[in-house]
Amino acid sequence: MQSPINTEQQLLAALAAGERKTTEQIYQQHYHIINSWLIKNGGSSADAADVFQEAMVVLFGKAQDEDFRLTCSIGTYLFAISKHLWYKKLQQQNRSPIFLQDKSEEGDNDIGIAYEEDVNVHNEREAHYEQLNSALDQIGEPCRSLLKAYYHNDKNMQEIAADFGYTNPDNAKNQKYKCLARLRKLFYGEASPRPSPGERVRSK
Amino acid sequence: MSINNNIWELAEAFVAGSLSEGEITELNDRVAGDVAFASEFNEAVNLVRSMAGSGKQKRFRSMLRDIQAQSANAPAAPKRIVLPAHFWRTAAVAASVAILTSAITIWSINYSLKKSDSQYNTISREVGVIKKVQAQQQAQQNKLIEIINTKTKPAPPSDVKYTGTGFALTNDGYFVTAYHVISDGDSVYIQNHDGDYYKAFLVNFDADADVAILKIEKKNFHFGKGELPYTFSGSKAGLGSGIFTLGYPKDEVVYSEGYISARNGFQGNGLQYTLELPAGHGQSGSPVIDGKGNILGLLTAVGSQNEANTYAVSSKAVLELLHTIPAASSLHLPKSNKLGHMSHEQQIEKMEAYTFSVKVYKK
């Protein structure tokens, strides 16, 4: 079974790069199973869409690491993460999960625990991104729009210079660096020799 | 401020991995010797990395939403049925990769194993063999129609490719059948129990659930007098519920009865029922009705010989699809059930007017 492993690895690499075709393929291939499982377990189609998309983002996050290797198939992974996310959601809503006896689900508990860590890492990253975005919202214009154009909308400095009325891409780039410096101040606090909490200073 | 723009350029290059070995050594030395710089540089690197990561993820999320929306609002083709060619491609890819995943969804089986010896056979009727008989009957029928009723439409021009069964959703022309019945054709007609033909167009479909909603083209069309006598069940019926169905495995309506033998369908599909009910080709799309006149679903497939089950898509899937069509809010779904107090024979007679043969043509 050499080639399927390669195939899955290639799929993951394309997914990590955000390629639409691959993402669509993975989506279409696995959505149905998770959708019907969720409906059997007290969810709606809308819940299934939410949960499955979140699971895809978890996989996307994991796949960013080039060294990441799945120990199971993409389908199994997405299913395990989706189940985990759904049980979490039910817990939050104080609804106890409905466990249906189903042969195919035997041994799932081990997988669930193994992937709990992945979901936790994902949640931490989400919280971090959220803080970053709220700092971005406080930064003021033109920095907010400029940084969003560059990082969120994937525009290059040439386009940004044209859109924001800078005479050349270098000027836009300098402005971007100034904006990043302001964002740093908002996000980490005033620059000072005192290391702020959570900061990782390289030690000798 | 002590930070010059340089630190950002450096951080960006560091994150992108475009620093040379020499530059990295230099950088390490500076980080080791200058605590303030180290702290600033670390923050800069973290920030650049996080900004890039969060942006990339944002784009990925919006792409996912797009893909989801695309598959939810599956192409609704007004007036004409266009077979989505990409569907076959997707099905082929899925079927080839399906070996990897332990579970195979219904539709990939449905489409990839259509040839014959599958464990899951959709039960639309491929005409071919009985074409001659059909043609004769059609000719007779046409003659009859011409003589009796000048108002009815003439029979469609080309040969029938598939037949199935459909039943009314609203009295003014919306009806439902199994998607696989109509998916391979380019025009669809219904033939009601009086033998009249009416042309229909596809309103929306859910290929995975195997449900298609169509509408009769003719204006001011009505299946019968007054509102439909039956209602659609939004919840799942219990094990052992007695059910019956009317369908067109031949050119005459056929009655069969049975019971719900499992709450879920093929390979645990939650949108389906498993039925103990004899069904054959041509009965795809037939209504599954309980004793009180509630529509529980529609027939979609039968198991292979060694696993003689019949599968029905639950009416929940039909209702869900119904809510996605643009005209959903103006549709008049039946509100009251008139079959509940009737005798079984009366129920069947009433149902007959709203159940019809679906004929699919392909040039």
- Quote ipTM for the complex: 0.81
Band (B139; pLDDT cuts 50, 70, 90): low
Higher pLDDT, B316 or B153: B316
Helix (H, G, I), strand (E, B) or coil at B336: coil
**Under 8 Å between Cβ of A68 and A62:** yes
Closest to A152 (Cβ–Cβ): which among B55, B90, B105?
B55
- What's the CA gap between B357 and B354, in Å, rounded? 10
**Taking each helix axis from N to C terminus, what angle separates B6-16 and A169-188, rounded to the nearest 10 degrees?**
90
| pLDDT for B151 | 38
**Nearest Cα to A175, choosing from A136, A141, A135?**
A141
| pLDDT for A102 | 37
Q: A94 CA to chain B: closest CA distance, Å?
A: 23
Kindly state the tokens that stand for B281. Answer: 């080709």
Q: How far is CA B258 from CA A98, B66, B156, B244, B254, in A?
A: 29, 43, 35, 6, 14
Among all residues of chain B, which has the CA nearest to that of A154? B55
Percent of chain B past pLDDT 70, that is, above it, reads: 73
Band (A156; pLDDT cuts 50, 70, 90): confident
- Contact of B116 with chain A, judged by CB distance below 8 Å, is answered with no
Per-residue pLDDT of B72-122, as tens digits, reads 765 433 333 333 444 445 545 544 444 444 333 333 333 333 333 445 666
Q: How far is CA A204 from CA A192, A196, B32, B34, in A?
A: 20, 19, 6, 11
Q: B296 CA to chain A: closest CA distance, Å?
A: 17
pTM over 0.90: no
**Under 8 Å between Cβ of B111 and B91:** yes
- What's the CA gap between B228 and B288, in Å, rounded? 15
User: In which element (H, E) is residue B61 found?
Assistant: helix B35-72
Burial of B219 (0-12, 13-18, 19+ CB in 10 A): exposed
Q: Bridge partners of B288?
A: B245, B297
Q: B56 CA to chain A: closest CA distance, Å?
A: 7
